[in-house]
Amino acid sequence: MCGVFGIIFQKERSDLGQILLEAAKRLTYRGYDSVGVATVSKDGSCELRKDVGTVEEVNAKYKFHELSGFKGIAQLRWATFGVPMQKNAQPHYDCDKDMVGAHNGNIVNTIELKKMFVQEGHTVRGDNDGEMVVHAIEKYYDEFGNMDTAIRKGAEILKGDYACVITRIDDDKMYCVKQGSSLYLGIGDGFVCASSDLPSIIPLTKRIVPLKDGEYVEFTFDRYEIRHIESGEKINRVPQVMDISAEAATKAGYPHFMLKEIYEQPERIHALLEYLKFDTNLMKYVNTLAKSRYTYLVGSGTSYHACVIGSYFFARMASKAVFPCEAGRFLENFGSTLSKEDTIVLVSQSGETKDAINILNACEGKAKILSLVNVVGSTIMMRSSLNIPLCCDLEISVPATKTFMNQILTFYYLAAKMSEESEYMEITKRLPELVKQSLELATSQIEELLQDDIDFSDMYVLGYGITHGLALEGALKIKEVVYNHCEGMYSSEFKHGPLSIVKEGYPIVFVTHDSQARMILSHINEVTCRNGLAIAVTNESSEIESNVHKVIRYPDCHAILPPFLGLPALQLFAYYLAVKMGNDPDLPRNLSKTITVD
């Protein structure tokens, strides 16, 4: 995720830099790898200042607040293409420095575009996909001499979901484009602005023009013109008055980031699938895994649970045995057994997990090391021979939600590529919509369940086969945000000791699928015959539903998909129970988003 903001006034403003700085601060949650500001004055001069670091750090060095001008752009970067360094910070100039722009989103064909622009003689200064946006528009402006045509033609070669703000130095206009990433237009008294998100607009004006994908806007200080990017047809749309606070806007109307990020999962699935289509290193990754003697999927906490599910995907779909392991246990258990024919896949949201970095330090040169991380430019990503970014944007809430979803999706995709069965890849086309349906179904069912008089102060979540890792993750979410004891376990293991804890009304959640009915019914009845309370998270199954007390249903699906469709119910259960208990699910006590200690 990145944040971009652009604004234009009628006259020179000595406080333009301060305005851009304040807008950037209000978008800090969208990116903190690097930040930059560009200002344009009426005399045709442009000042561009940017570097790696937080808003406060870079402003202290470059004095954004001292800049003046009549129009300007600010950008905060969450790295996806190009490691965090000054040349990859945004905004970017075009070749001749007569155009400047910045973007939010992912241009998934960045590598191919850079090669093309270099061959055509463009001055490409970095590796960032935002620079490719500027060069794409420059390419066609140089050919046609018209910004409208340049934006529309540029969009044809830019693949991915993005939004951008761009301006020429020598005119009194700005332009913005919405192609799959968030973008809003703000109409103020003597100015017009555009931003990735409302928090940077609301303190300036509450008159907002929502934009739709496939639209671009030409705007000056006192007017705006919206057009379809494909046809060029004009669109009439009047501003709406949005009476919301900047804090609420940051959360897009949700009471907590955790809930917002749970509901972002369908779009993040779509973004990752689009990225993987264009990932030029994907088959190298697949082939490395296929040829490996032993493959270890290694992570901590939520990332380890993704590894457990991933091991089932590889076994079921590709007949490939891989071994999931907790990062903190790996060296003691497997460190002395490694050879250069083995592969370790390190899985981490932050890319800075200390237990995983310990493995890097100990195993570099002893085995191949690949990674799945969400933070581009992180230690694990930079030191891995191959990496797949999770494309989740910034995840603010401490409990991982959307990053877990895309971790298991990445494992699924890799296993599907390794498989000889085409149906597995075909299934992914419906996955964003199925997860969206799961969210819609789960919300009302969870709210109804929590109205019942059930004591959830101690409980188990049990899974079987492919839902084992999902049970582990569901239990972890409850512990993280509710602060109640909850243990995840393989369901057939429950009778080997823990069954003794069951008493009347003791809640046990079974995460399952109708394809597992023959086995799971035995495990359910081991609980219910001892007066335990059985709750099933399942697709429609009369057999399973008739044997439990409560049901949370997800859409009917292939037997390989329960980890994706059962997940929203467990996440929402943990979230709503935490809120009911009066806890802040975004900031659980004693926990940190990134664990950098042993």
Q: How far apart are CA 361 and CA 338, in angstroms?
A: 14
Q: What are the start-end ranges of the E strands in 379-447?
A: 386-389
DSSP 147-195: HHHHHHHHHHH--EEEEEEEEETTSS-EEEEEEBS--EEEEETTEEEEE
Q: Considering 2, 95, 363, 391, which one is annotated as catalytic?
A: 2
Q: Which residues contact 77 (CB under 8 A, 6 or more apart)?
A: 2, 31, 33, 34, 35, 36, 84, 88, 89, 90, 128, 130
CA–CA dist 104, 452 (Å, integer): 44
**DSSP letter (8 states) at residue 346:** E
164 is catalytic: no
Residue 87 DSSP class: G
Backbone phi and psi for residue 355, each to the nearest 5 degrees, phi listed first: -60, -35
Beta strands 323-326 and 295-299: pairing type?
parallel
Question: What length is written for the chain?
Answer: 598
Per DSSP (E only), the strands in 14-110 are 34-40, 46-52, 69-77, 92-93, 99-107
Which residue(s) pair with 511 in the sheet? 463, 537
**Residue 211 contacts residue 217 (beta carbons within 8 Å):** yes
Q: What is d(CA 548, CA 535) in angstroms, rounded to the nearest whole number?
A: 6
For the chain, the 3-state helix, strand and coil shares in percent, each to the nearest 5, are 45, 25, 35
Residue located via tokens 């709406």: 240
Annotated catalytic residue within 25, 173, 206, 593: 593
Indicate which residues carry an active-site annotation: 2, 593
